[in-house]
Structure 1
Amino acid sequence: MDANATLDANAADSVGNQELQVLQDVVYRYVMPVLIITGVLTNVINILTLWKINQPQKHQQNRQAQTTTYRYLFWLAIADMLASLSLVPAIVFLEREELPYGWAFYYAHFETPLMNGLTSASVYIVVGLSVDRYIAVCHPRRYVEISAPRLAAIRIACSFLVPVVLYLPQGFFMEVVCAASGAGWTYQSNQTNESAKEYYELIVELCHRIFPAIILAVLNGCIIYTFHNTTERRNQMRSKPLVTMQPSSASKGSEDQDQSRRHQEKRLVYLLVAIVVSFLATTLPAAVLALIDIDGATYGSFGHEVFRALANCLEAFGLSLNFVLYFVFVNSVREVLKNAVCGLAAHAKVDRGCSQSSTSNSKNTECVEL
């Protein structure tokens, strides 16, 4: 997220274009608040649902892969919610020439590292989830050895700690100064070693978005390729005639189980493709913007500012998109939300058919988990 996304009054005057002020009002006064509210609400629902899912697992013999996956999703929802909340101060003051000292100090030293650190943590958790799924699918015999829940907890902790190390220096790039009018405070670059700062910004951007995008694409591509090969081998084995005859009921049950497994595998492939596409679509424009403004935010042509607004809105939208993806493609997560809704309906003495439908569908969620 570009922390200098908003245009102040002087910047708008310097480019001499009234359209920039209109763009600022539309994007940062109307569109961005809607995206922030959506991101917070969807991730709160995600957190509550995943917390509910994890409760029965303490008493059931569920598979380790399922438990680890839900742990990643739970902390991903927390990171996305905090990242959405960190955008609120960014739109409190769109004009930053005459600020109270407290707000000027926050914008100078905390806004950029906080926003970028939280969005980076979200990215790293997605990468950690992809690493976990890659090992489970492509190297299943080593999964317990190198992807135990304890190691997943370490990866998640590093997903929050590494961005702190990456973005802590950004808190010292600005300094609070008195406003030109003398009526308040503002902030500006402290102009210390600009060349080293540009190299630092480039390295950080590579670690934040570019390298994770490459890793995510490669890992999920390997997972999809492995699933394709597995499906082909299974189809070849299924096409061979059976030497021994099975009872009709057992044959029908095995066929239904295979069909359910194929359905779950197809949904997983769709989810992995959706993760890669959504990540690239919502993240790479912000990466391009950061590389363009590597020497500091520049306010130039109207097209440049449109691209800046689009990149920031896409990244804010991406914070709530994970909710949509996982609730669309992961049956177990969706079933918990459905059961919660049916539970509320039961208190209102609504027809119990919803509960029965939920019970019958839950039998098919054990085949292939995320």
Structure 2
Amino acid sequence: MQIDNDYCERYCIYEKTFNTEKCTDQIFVDCVIGPKTAIQEGPLLAVTVFTVLLMLIGVLGNIAVCIVIIKHPSMRTNTNRYLFSLAINDLLLLIFGVPSDIWKYYNAYGYTLGLFYCKMTTFLLDMTSYCSVLTVVSFSLERYFAICHPIRSHTTRKRPSPVLILCIIWALSTVYAMPLTWKTDIISDVKYPHTNRWLKEADQCNLPSESREGDGNDWMNVYFKVTSVIFFVIPMVVLMAVYIQIGMAIRKRGFRNENGNIRSNVRTSRGTIRLLIAVVVSFFICWAPFHYQRIFNYALSHEEARKLYVITGCFYYLSAALNPILYSVISRKYRTAFKEVLFRDRNSSREQDSCLKEYTRNNITSETRITGPI
């Protein structure tokens, strides 16, 4: 049933004309909160198609990255261990985040997926966002030491291994994701008049209203500001400083000698840096709206918060889908390894088919000789 403003004003809004028969629980919720979809149906369909495409591209691309790094010996480097972890993050984000968000796009309220799924998706999306930025910072510092301080990088034995660093990153990300997971609940902000019943038709997987409204001084809003500084502002400053140093080091090395080997090494280093810079830039562009929403959500109207939620979803899913594309477009080493893994598997399959055919042919020949005339 399509509810317009006139119907709401006549039967649901004003106490004198309130009609309990014509203003059911669901109709009252629709009148108070507004349309059940996050945005208008036309743009919503386009957003849905775009998000699903991002999910398909991202899942296939990140799986390919993981397979290449696992199967190709030359790809098992320290940097690629970080990129492998980043691909796992992207897969978790896409597989668990996209279905949940698409459901919310069409059902902004009336949440029916249960408390466990609500908290699980909240935890995974929050944890992967923290894990991603720490991973990007870590592999950028890895490249910084390898390019700017190569001797120290190879001679220092006290530096922790990438595996240990990644374990610490995942552990810290899990810890920082717990407060939001604990605070998130299935809540309803709408009471039915006269009875003061909280209406389940208005249920949302969200923070309590005091964390989404007010003056922004609630402890969860303070938490959002602190985490945005720790996981967004500080890493951006660190990465800018790191890549300026790396760029200067590569430029000096390029002018030092005309020797072919050094030139080749410089080209390889430049390719690596282009890859890492592209990943970092895309990451921060795609995640900036997310942090803006978290910091200023309390100051937004209900309609603005809905629209911004959809926009932030498109951007951070774009980040998860864009990373594997950047690896294949920019990194020649990755493209070569991908082709070798792909064609090696095909050749292996053809060899197995050839061996099977030869084995079958020999057996048939042998059986013919045995069963033939003596």
Aligned residue number for residue 99 of structure 1:
111
1:181-200 aligned at under 5 Å gives the runs: 181-182=199-200, 186-187=204-205, 189-190=207-208, 195-200=218-223
Structure 1 residue 300 displacement after superposition = 3.2
Bigger shift: 82-91 or 156-165?
82-91
Structure 1 residue 121 displacement after superposition = 0.9
**Equivalent of residue 175 in structure 1, options 168, 185, 188:** 185
Structure 1 residue 320 displacement after superposition = 2.1
String of CA shifts for 1:273-307, please: whole Å, max 9, x gaps: 323322232122222222221x3874235xx7555
1:182-261 aligned at under 5 Å gives the runs: 182=200, 186-187=204-205, 189-190=207-208, 195-234=218-257, 238=258, 255=260, 257-261=261-265
Aligned residue number for residue 50 of structure 1:
69
SS in 1 for 2:114: helix
Letter in 2 for 1:315: Y
> Are 1:210 and 1:287, in contact at CA under 8 Å, matched by a contact in 2?
no
Compared CA separation, residues 11 and 333, structure 1 to 2 (3 A): farther
Letter in 1 for 2:52: P
Compared CA separation, residues 223 and 188, structure 1 to 2 (3 A): closer
Distance in 2 (alpha carbons) for counterparts of 1:292 and 1:138: 39
Aligned residue number for residue 290 of structure 2:
286
Structure 1 residue 322 displacement after superposition = 1.7
Aligned residue number for residue 303 of structure 2:
300
Bigger shift: 338-347 or 127-136?
338-347
Q: Which runs of 5+ in 2 are unaligned?
A: 1-26, 191-197, 212-216, 352-374
Number of residue pairs aligned between Structure 1 and Structure 2: 309
Larger C-alpha radius of gyration, 1 or 2?
2
Letter in 1 for 2:170: F
> Are 1:12 and 1:18, in contact at CA under 8 Å, matched by a contact in 2?
no
SS in 2 for 1:270: helix
Distance in 2 (alpha carbons) for counterparts of 1:187 and 1:322: 29
Report whether the alignment pairs 1:274 with 2:284.
no
Structure 1 residue 190 displacement after superposition = 4.0
SS in 1 for 2:129: helix
Distance in 2 (alpha carbons) for counterparts of 1:283 and 1:95: 24
Compared CA separation, residues 228 and 50, structure 1 to 2 (3 A): same
1:350-369 aligned at under 5 Å gives the runs: none
Report whether the alignment pairs 1:32 with 2:43.
no
Structure 1 residue 105 displacement after superposition = 0.6
> Are 1:220 and 1:272, in contact at CA under 8 Å, matched by a contact in 2?
no
Structure 1 residue 272 displacement after superposition = 3.7
Q: Which runs of 5+ in 1 are unaligned?
A: 1-8, 58-65, 239-253, 350-370
Structure 1 residue 109 displacement after superposition = 2.8
Letter in 2 for 1:285: P
> Are 2:58 and 2:91, in contact at CA under 8 Å, matched by a contact in 1?
yes
Compared CA separation, residues 315 and 72, structure 1 to 2 (3 A): same
Distance in 1 (alpha carbons) for counterparts of 2:337 and 2:69: 8
Distance in 1 (alpha carbons) for counterparts of 2:220 and 2:313: 22
Structure 1 residue 195 displacement after superposition = 2.0
Structure 1 residue 13 displacement after superposition = 6.8
* Superposed CA RMSD: 3.5
Aligned residue number for residue 16 of structure 2:
none
**Equivalent of residue 39 in structure 2, options 10, 17, 20:** 20
Letter in 1 for 2:101: A
Distance in 2 (alpha carbons) for counterparts of 1:16 and 1:67: 51
Compared CA separation, residues 126 and 108, structure 1 to 2 (3 A): same
- TM-score, with normalisation over the residues of structure 2? 0.71
Report whether the alignment pairs 1:114 with 2:124.
yes
String of CA shifts for 1:106-133, please: whole Å, max 9, x gaps: 3653332320211221221111100111
String of CA shifts for 1:143-184, please: whole Å, max 9, x gaps: 135577852112111221111111101122233357855569
> Are 1:132 and 1:147, in contact at CA under 8 Å, matched by a contact in 2?
no
Structure 1 residue 68 displacement after superposition = 1.2
Compared CA separation, residues 288 and 28, structure 1 to 2 (3 A): same
> Are 1:12 and 1:21, in contact at CA under 8 Å, matched by a contact in 2?
no
Distance in 1 (alpha carbons) for counterparts of 2:205 and 2:38: 25
1:54-65 aligned at under 5 Å gives the runs: 54=73
Bigger shift: 261-270 or 180-189?
180-189
Aligned residue number for residue 14 of structure 2:
none
Bigger shift: 185-194 or 24-33?
185-194
Report whether the alignment pairs 1:164 with 2:187.
no
Distance in 2 (alpha carbons) for counterparts of 1:310 and 1:266: 33
> Are 1:117 and 1:163, in contact at CA under 8 Å, matched by a contact in 2?
yes
**Equivalent of residue 134 in structure 1, options 134, 144, 147:** 144
Aligned residue number for residue 264 of structure 1:
268
> Are 1:286 and 1:311, in contact at CA under 8 Å, matched by a contact in 2?
yes
SS in 2 for 1:110: helix
SS in 2 for 1:20: coil
